[in-house]
């Protein structure tokens, strides 16, 4: 039996070579050495981020260059077909997160900073987009218009569903994590956590303890956020992704975790490495663990699967498979590589 992954990628409209949602497959239980790119499951313009429906055989693609979201339904072992029409979300929509109950998805748009809720029908079809209130810059000072301030703009980049049903979204440009509640007609602003100016919060992962780990693109750090009894969120820990990563020359991208939450993995563009961090205590202690070569150029995304780490190298046009140490979780040698056009995201097919 084959295990299948869908591959998101950049197409010609964003300077890449991908012509649609790709297929990556390998023998079940032997994926680390048998994975191969099998062409396109569906033609699509720059489907840079993919998200699977929790119960339907439906996958959603952020068509980044078009600023739209498209639903696809599985129509074969390695085929997807459009489900309804695309829905406009916002400029450079770069991330999608589907609610655990499949009721809606949240789209984050890097270009214009939009955070958008799109309801989902029972069969997985997209509804009408609902744009959330825009972000404001916590570091803006009235009457001050210096060069540093004028270069700042809202850049929504990711969303994560929290254990209590609220939603967290990052704003890479305004250095904040915004907390939302799901209202009847869209997202309702709840609160926010302001990070230090210029760190650039990008992607997040929810720890089994409920802590939220956030990787920063500009400062190469992981911020750990925790919720108090009164429901407010705050920063409880900060650590560098690795002592060997030079700030300014590197840009962390994806952040993921092991199933038990004891290890975090951060892909680092620039040095083309993967950093592992150990999580201890109640999820609030994070320490650098190891640094390994990713085996690709510009590791845009990675996925933990069955004792291995799959890494999508956007600029090398490859997907690598790294061993993970059974005892420590540290990434090791590259076991396998396969060509894939400008890969930017990987998701396990249902």
DSSP assignment of 257-288 equals: E-TTSSEEEEEEETTTEEEEEEEETTTTEEEE
CA-CA distances (angstroms) from residue 12 to 100, 111, 196? 33, 18, 36
> Which of the 8 DSSP states describes residue 147?
H
Q: How confident is the model at residue 23 (pLDDT cuts 50, 70, 90)?
A: very high
| pLDDT of 17 strictly over 90 | yes
> Residues 224-245: what's their mean pLDDT?
96
Structure tokens, 318: 């490859």
| pLDDT of 116 strictly over 70 | yes
| pLDDT of 292 strictly over 70 | yes
318 forms bridges with which residues in the sheet? 313, 339
> Residues 217-238: what's their mean pLDDT?
97
> Residues 277-288: what's their mean pLDDT?
96
Of 139 and 147, the one with more pLDDT: 139
Task: Tell me what the pLDDT averaged over the chain comes to.
Answer: 95
> Residues 192-206: what's their mean pLDDT?
98
Neighbouring residues of 124: CB distance < 8 A, sequence distance ≥ 6? 53, 56, 58, 71, 73, 83, 102
Q: How confident is the model at residue 327 (pLDDT cuts 50, 70, 90)?
A: very high
| pLDDT of 69 strictly over 60 | yes
The mean-pLDDT minimum among 29-43, 44-58, 69-83, 181-195 falls in 29-43
Of 188 and 32, the one with more pLDDT: 188
Q: Which domains does the chain have, with CATH numbers?
A: 44-139+151-194 (2.130.10.10)
Q: Please tell me the predicted confidence (pLDDT) of residue 50.
A: 98
> Which of the 8 DSSP states describes residue 171?
E
Q: Please tell me the predicted confidence (pLDDT) of residue 142.
A: 61
Q: Please tell me the predicted confidence (pLDDT) of residue 145.
A: 58
Nearest to 241 by CA among 225, 213, 222: 222
- What pLDDT digit, counting tens, does each position of 245-265 carry? 989 999 999 999 999 999 999
Give the H or E element holding residue 33. helix 31-34
In this structure, the dihedral spanned by the alpha carbons of residues 265, 268, 271 and 272, taken in order and rounded to 10 degrees, is 80
Q: Other C-beta atoms within 10 Å of 299: how many?
A: 30
Q: How confident is the model at residue 350 (pLDDT cuts 50, 70, 90)?
A: confident
Q: How confident is the model at residue 189 (pLDDT cuts 50, 70, 90)?
A: very high
């Amino acid at each position: 039996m084959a295990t299948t992954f869908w591959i998101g990628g950049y197409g010609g409209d964003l300077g890449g070579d991908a012509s649609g949602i790709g297929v990556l497959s390998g023998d079940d239980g032997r994926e680390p050495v048998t994975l191969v790119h099998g062409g396109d499951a569906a033609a699509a313009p720059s489907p840079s981020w993919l998200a699977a429906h929790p119960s339907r055989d439906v996958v959603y693609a952020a068509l980044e260059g078009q600023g739209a979201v498209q639903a696809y339904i599985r129509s074969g072992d390695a085929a997807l077909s459009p489900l309804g029409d695309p829905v406009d979300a916002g400029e450079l929509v770069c991330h999608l997160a589907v609610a655990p109950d499949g009721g809606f998805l949240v789209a984050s748009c890097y270009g214009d900073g939009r955070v958008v809720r799109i309801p989902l029908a029972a069969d997985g079809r997209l509804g009408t987009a609902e744009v959330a209130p825009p972000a404001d810059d916590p570091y803006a000072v009235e009457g001050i218009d210096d060069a540093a301030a004028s270069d700042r703009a809202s850049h929504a980049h990711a969303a994560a569903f929290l254990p209590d049903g609220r939603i967290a979204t990052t704003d890479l440009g305004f250095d904040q994590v915004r907390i939302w509640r799901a209202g009847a007609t869209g997202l309702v602003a709840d609160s926010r956590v302001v990070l230090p100016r210029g760190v650039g919060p990008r992607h997040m992962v929810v720890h089994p303890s409920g802590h939220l780990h956030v990787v920063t693109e500009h400062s190469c750090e992981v911020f750990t956020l925790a919720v108090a009894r009164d429901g407010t969120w705050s920063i409880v820990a900060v650590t560098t992704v690795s002592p060997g990563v030079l700030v300014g020359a590197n840009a962390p991208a994806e952040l993921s975790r092991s199933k038990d939450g004891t290890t975090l993995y951060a892909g680092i563009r620039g040095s083309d490495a993967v950093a592992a961090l150990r999580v201890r205590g109640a999820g609030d202690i994070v320490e650098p663990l190891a640094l390994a070569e990713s085996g690709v150029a510009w590791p845009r995304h990675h996925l933990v699967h069955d004792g291995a780490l799959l890494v999508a190298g956007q600029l090398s046009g490859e997907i690598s498979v790294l061993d993970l140490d059974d005892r420590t979780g540290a990434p090791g040698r590259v076991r396998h590589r396969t060509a894939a056009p400008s890969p930017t995201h990987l998701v396990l097919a249902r």
